[in-house]
Amino acid sequence: MGEPGTKATLSLAELEAATSMRTGRKHVLSILVENKSGVLTRIAGLFARRGFNIDTLTVGPTDDDQVSRVTLTVDGALHPIDQVTKQLHKLINVLKIRDLEPADTVARELALFKVAADGVQRGELMQIAEIFRGKVVDVTKRAVIIEVTGTTDKIEAFEGMVRPFGLIEMMRTGEIAISRGRSET
Amino acid sequence: MRAVDAVMECLKAEGVDVVLGLPGGANLPTYDAFVGGGIRHILVRHEAGGGHAAEGYAKATGKVGVAFATSGPGATNLITPICDAMMDSVPVVFITGQVRTELLGTDGFQEADTIGITMPVVKHSFMIQSPQEIPRAIHEAFHIARTGRPGPVLVDIPMDLSRAEIDYEPVTDVHLPGYQPRVEGNQKQVRQAAKALAAAQRPVIYAGGGVVNANASEELIEFATSDRFPVTCTLMGLGAFPAPHDQWLGMLGMHGTRAANYAMDEADLICAIGARFDDRITGKLSEFAPRAKFIHIDVDPAEISKNVPAHIPIVGDAKHVLAKLVIEYRAIGADPARLAAWWTRIEGWREKYPLGYEDSPDAEIKPQFMVQALHEATGGQAIVTSDVGQHQMWAAQYYDFPAPRRWINSGGLGTMGFGLPAAMGAAIGCPDQLVCCIAGDGSVQMNAQELATCAQNNIPIKVFIMNNGYLGMVRQWQELFWDGKYSHVDTGEFPDYVKLAEAYGATGLRFEDKATLVEDMKRAIATDGPVLVDVRVTREENTYPMIPAGQAAREMVG
């Protein structure tokens, strides 16, 4: 492979081959952090420096007001995850990291869908919402807002169902995740 | 008391004996506290000089260096030293002034987002939000800087908070739940490593700056001599194992010796200690040490298996782990005779490929000879700093460092202009030792202003510029890999270094004759105060041997 200091021109294939150790699965990282200013920037910065794209990111309080939880998802097919978790551990304000196994994890996200709905369509939409255990939280003459909670798959499936009605906009929180069983996440 | 007076108390409690810095608007309160504050402060001429001096101090003494700067441009001038300290794991606490809190985020005069700008290059940083938290932040900063894998820590203090009244109580403990470096090393893993070493036929010890940082030189020597293990060190590890020594192979890597690089190439077991498999060491990664298994000892778990997968990872600092490893290894009672064939092979390389160069037929000073002359003139006992480039590699190759903390250079970041201020810091920290800087003519001007600081404070550094009138390493690469087309590497005969030295209040000398060089250097060293010497060397000499860029160790040339 051509070295930056030499005349050799780099091919795109060579550049791609230079990154390694991808796992191929989605990773849900659950990170306990000290509730201090700048922590999120430090975490996000670590990913950005490696050119990693964070798919979703949520931050919220825990039962201890000194501690917050960051849940973020990254595509392991695109990015090697091992180095970044080790680097995360080095951040002074990071207390604990878990790379959650999908099978041992309950993950949920909340989504709000604003869908165009005239009188005729409204009934059908509400039926679909019911099947997905969604809730209609607002209705106006020309639109409804539906709240859906669930896994990413479920939310994407619901999106597919309502899109033909005229999806005006959609907002998603990103996943939060908790490990199964007695032990703490 | 005012928060800034508490800062002085904290520095004293941390055992700080000197601060290098430069005042400005946003740290006026801090500088007021220096008056009668009981802390020695040295006024530098540029914040970068202060930052590198703090690094030089830290590297020479093993203590935490401290540099101060004001907000905005003062802080941004510190970025290179901060990044340098990060790359080379140097314990330095940087304390910057910041605009007062009501101006934060408003583009106030001399405002820069110092915390934001430095975030990727600090081990940690503290943005002070309340004056009461200042003492704790200072102590935590020192604790983080010096423990685990050392590194730079920044404390940014808005001006209004620094002059606020606080209830100061000495801080005696630090509480950092998310920071608990593991230094001990897992006993089981250590035992595994000992077994692997006892079974190895062609082992090599590859030691890096982590051994120096952990003050583990004695443990390294003991470990290496518990059998006849061949030892090589990285650029940052030089001195951790004494040179010369019959088990010493020389430095490894791009400009290392053939004995060291070939031994790595043919080794069946490599024991890496406080080293990070940098690309300057491995060359082409896929062909690096193809027959070897790896023991990797490092205090930073993120370094283990980062570039080269470790078969036996040990998280812990070199001092603790090596002490355990020696005991475990001795308990096995391995047969030293198994290494005889390996040593025969190594001796063969040593004899066939010693470090060497063609000396000039006349009075011309070859750069390699210049380093050897300095070795002779100093009895090999000086602390030597360098800038970055050819002269740095020649210094590393030809000045056999007998002990750790004698060789101070910028390895990871490769910062030109590092050597002179680093020498200043080393001399401040080690006033009883001779401190020399082997500088490049391309590099030295980047922080030559600190000669004024040295002259004013009578800091007696001896700076020897290896002057070839080129940005030599770039020239070498252009010659070897870019068809010999020189692009902007000729620095000519500017400035006149003798006059420059004199203008700064230092002694300026010029040496051009090989025959008298050693005596001339002795004369320079015997001269009081700071001395800047312009040593004219061969203009176009290449640094060899060399692993050509992107190639494997066995393909060394020159």
Task: State the DSSP string of B493-511.
Answer: T-S-HHHHHHHTTSEEEEE
pLDDT cut 70: percent of chain A above it: 88
Distance set, CA A19 to CA A28, B113, B284 (Å): 21, 32, 14
The Cα B32–Cα B93 span in angstroms is 20
The Cα B421–Cα B56 span in angstroms is 7
Instruction: Using an 8 Å CB-CB cutoff, list chain B residues near A37.
Output: 127, 129
Average pLDDT over residues B77-81: 98
Instruction: Report the chain A residue with the minimal C-alpha distance to residue B479.
Output: A6
Instruction: Report the chain B residue with the minimal C-alpha distance to residue A31.
Output: B178
10 Å CB burial of residue B104 (0-12, 13-18, 19+) is middle
| DSSP-assigned states of every residue in A125-158 | HHHHHHHTT-EEEEE-SSEEEEEEEE-HHHHHHH
Average pLDDT over residues B303-315: 94
Please, are residues A146 and A135 in contact by the beta-carbon 8 Å criterion?
yes
User: pLDDT band at B555, cuts 50/70/90?
Assistant: very high
Average pLDDT over residues B383-395: 98
d(CA A166, nearest CA chain B) in Å: 42
User: pLDDT band at A77, cuts 50/70/90?
Assistant: confident
Instruction: Report the chain A residue with the minimal C-alpha distance to residue B287.
Output: A1
Compute the CA torsion angle A123, A129, A130, A136 (nearest 10 deg). -80
Instruction: Using an 8 Å CB-CB cutoff, list chain A residues near B306.
Output: 83, 86
d(CA B231, nearest CA chain A) in Å: 28
Q: What is the pLDDT of residues B433-463, one digit of tens each?
A: 999 999 999 999 999 999 999 999 999 999 9
Distance set, CA B56 to CA A121, B45, B85, B449 (Å): 74, 16, 10, 16
B127 touching A (Cβ < 8 Å): yes
Q: Which of A2, A37, A92 sits opposite B124 (nearest CB)?
A: A92
The Cα B277–Cα B306 span in angstroms is 8
Please report the domains of chain A, with CATH numbers, ordered by start residue: 12-100 (3.30.70.260), 106-179 (3.30.70.1150)
What phi and psi values does residue B327 have, to the nearest 5 degrees? -60, -45
B119 touching A (Cβ < 8 Å): yes
The Cα B411–Cα B435 span in angstroms is 19
Distance set, CA A70 to CA A92, A96, B119 (Å): 15, 10, 19
Q: Which two tokens stand for residue A46?
A: 């670590």
B302 touching A (Cβ < 8 Å): yes
The DSSP letter of residue B407 is: E
Distance set, CA A26 to CA A19, A23, A176, B260 (Å): 17, 8, 14, 43
Instruction: Using an 8 Å CB-CB cutoff, list chain A residues near B284.
Output: 1
Q: Which two tokens stand for residue B117?
A: 């700008």
B22, pLDDT greater than 50: yes
Q: Which two tokens stand for residue A58?
A: 């949520």
Element (H, E) at B397: helix B390-398
List the single range of A21-35, B204-218, B345-359, B437-451 with lowest mean pLDDT: A21-35
Instruction: Using an 8 Å CB-CB cutoff, list chain B residues near A89.
Output: 301-302
A20, pLDDT greater than 90: no
d(CA B82, nearest CA chain A) in Å: 17
Average pLDDT over residues A87-100: 94
B550 touching A (Cβ < 8 Å): yes
Instruction: Using an 8 Å CB-CB cutoff, list chain A residues near B482.
Output: 6-7
Other C-beta atoms within 10 Å of B204: how many?
26
A121, pLDDT greater than 70: yes
Please, are residues B438 and B378 in contact by the beta-carbon 8 Å criterion?
no
| DSSP-assigned states of every residue in B316-364 | B-HHHHHHHHHHHHHHHT--GGGGHHHHHHHHHHHHHS-S--PPPSSSP
Q: Which two tokens stand for residue A166?
A: 């005229």
pLDDT at position A1? 39
A23, pLDDT greater than 80: no
Spatial neighbors of B511 by CB under 8 A, at least 6 apart, are B365, B517, B520, B521, B524, B533, B534, B535, B536
Q: Tell how strand B462-467 and strand B507-511 pair up.
A: unpaired
B499, pLDDT greater than 60: yes
The Cα B397–Cα B164 span in angstroms is 53
Q: Which residue has the tokens 């998310």?
A: B178
The Cα A166–Cα A176 span in angstroms is 28
pLDDT at position A24? 74
Instruction: Report the chain A residue with the minimal C-alpha distance to residue B474.
Output: A5
Superfamily of segment(s) B3-162: Thiamin diphosphate (ThDP)-binding fold, Pyr/PP domains (3.40.50.970)
Number of A/B CB contacts below 8 angstroms equals 54
Check B129 against A37: CB less than 8 A apart: yes
A17, pLDDT greater than 60: no
Check B119 against A7: CB less than 8 A apart: no
Length of chain A: 185
The Cα B284–Cα B261 span in angstroms is 13
Sign of CA dihedral B244, B250, B255, B258: positive
Q: Which two tokens stand for residue B87?
A: 């790359």
pLDDT at position A78? 75
Helix (H, G, I), strand (E, B) or coil at A112: strand
Give which of A49, A92, A96 to mutate to test B binding, by max B Cβ within 10 Å: A92
CATH of B367-536, one of 1.25.40.10, 3.40.50.970, 1.10.10.60, 3.40.50.1820: 3.40.50.970
Q: Buried (b) or exposed (e) across B233-259, using 16+ Cβ within 10 A?
A: bbbbbbbbbbbeeebbbbbbbbbbbbb
Check A6 against B550: CB less than 8 A apart: yes
| DSSP-assigned states of every residue in B27-40 | GHHHHHHHTTSS--
Helix (H, G, I), strand (E, B) or coil at B272: strand
A2, pLDDT greater than 50: no
Check B550 against A7: CB less than 8 A apart: no
Q: Which two tokens stand for residue B456?
A: 């004013």
d(CA B452, nearest CA chain A) in Å: 36
Check B178 against A42: CB less than 8 A apart: no
Check residues B295 and A24 and name the one with the higher pLDDT.
B295
The Cα A87–Cα B520 span in angstroms is 50
Residue type for position B7 = V
A4, pLDDT greater than 70: no
Check B127 against A37: CB less than 8 A apart: yes
Q: Which of B119, B127, B481 sits opposite A45 (nearest CB)?
A: B119
> Which residues 474-513 in chain B show a CB within 8 A of chain A?
477, 481-483
Q: Which of A6, A86, A93 sits opposite B549 (nearest CB)?
A: A6
pLDDT at position B539? 97
Check B178 against A94: CB less than 8 A apart: yes
Interface of A with B (CB under 8 A): 1-3, 5-8, 33-34, 37-38, 41-42, 45, 49, 82-83, 86-87, 89-95
Check B550 against A93: CB less than 8 A apart: no
Residue type for position B230 = P
Check B177 against A95: CB less than 8 A apart: yes
- The topology under which CATH files domain B187-352 is Rossmann fold (3.40.50)
**Cis-peptide, bond into residue B495, ω within 30° of zero:** yes
The candidate with the shortest Cα–Cα distance to B26, out of B72, B60, B62, is B72
Instruction: Using an 8 Å CB-CB cutoff, list chain B residues near A90.
Output: 300, 302
Give whichever of A119-123, A180-184, B95-99, B282-286 has the largest mean pLDDT: B95-99
Instruction: Using an 8 Å CB-CB cutoff, list chain B residues near A2.
Output: 550
pLDDT cut 70: percent of chain B above it: 100
- Which residues pair with residue A116 across a beta bridge? A143
Q: For chain B, give every residue range classified as CATH 3.40.50.1220.
A: 187-352
Check A41 against B284: CB less than 8 A apart: no
Instruction: Using an 8 Å CB-CB cutoff, list chain B residues near A86.
Output: 301-302, 306
Instruction: Using an 8 Å CB-CB cutoff, list chain A residues near B139.
Output: none
The candidate with the shortest Cα–Cα distance to B52, out of B22, B80, B16, B87, is B80
Average pLDDT over residues B325-347: 97
Computed over every residue of chain B, the mean pLDDT equals 97
Q: Which of A5, A45, A90 sits opposite B302 (nearest CB)?
A: A90
Distance set, CA A43 to CA A29, A35, A48, A175 (Å): 12, 13, 9, 17
User: pLDDT band at A18, cuts 50/70/90?
Assistant: very low
Sign of CA dihedral B310, B316, B322, B327: negative
pLDDT at position A12? 53
Please, are residues B128 and B101 in contact by the beta-carbon 8 Å criterion?
no
List the single range of A12-16, B98-102, B292-296 with lowest mean pLDDT: A12-16
B558 touching A (Cβ < 8 Å): no
The Cα B156–Cα B129 span in angstroms is 9
Please, are residues B89 and B209 in contact by the beta-carbon 8 Å criterion?
yes
End-to-end CA distance of chain A: 43
B414 touching A (Cβ < 8 Å): no
Check A89 against B176: CB less than 8 A apart: no
The candidate with the shortest Cα–Cα distance to B236, out of B221, B251, B219, B254, is B251
DSSP E strands in B14-172: the ranges are 19-21, 41-43, 65-69, 92-98, 124-127, 152-158
The DSSP letter of residue B214 is: T
Instruction: Using an 8 Å CB-CB cutoff, list chain B residues near A41.
Output: 116, 119
Phi-psi region of B105 (alpha: psi -120 to 50; beta: other; left: phi over 0): left
pLDDT at position A79? 77
Instruction: Using an 8 Å CB-CB cutoff, list chain A residues near B120.
Output: 45, 49
The candidate with the shortest Cα–Cα distance to B385, out of B430, B436, B450, is B436
Integer-rounded Cα radius of gyration of chain A:
21
Instruction: Report the chain B residue with the minimal C-alpha distance to residue A87.
Output: B302
pLDDT at position A119? 82
Q: For chain B, give every residue range classified as CATH 3.40.50.970.
A: 3-162, 367-536
Q: Order of strands, edge to edge, in the sheet holding B41-43?
A: B41-43, B19-21, B65-69, B92-98, B152-158, B124-127
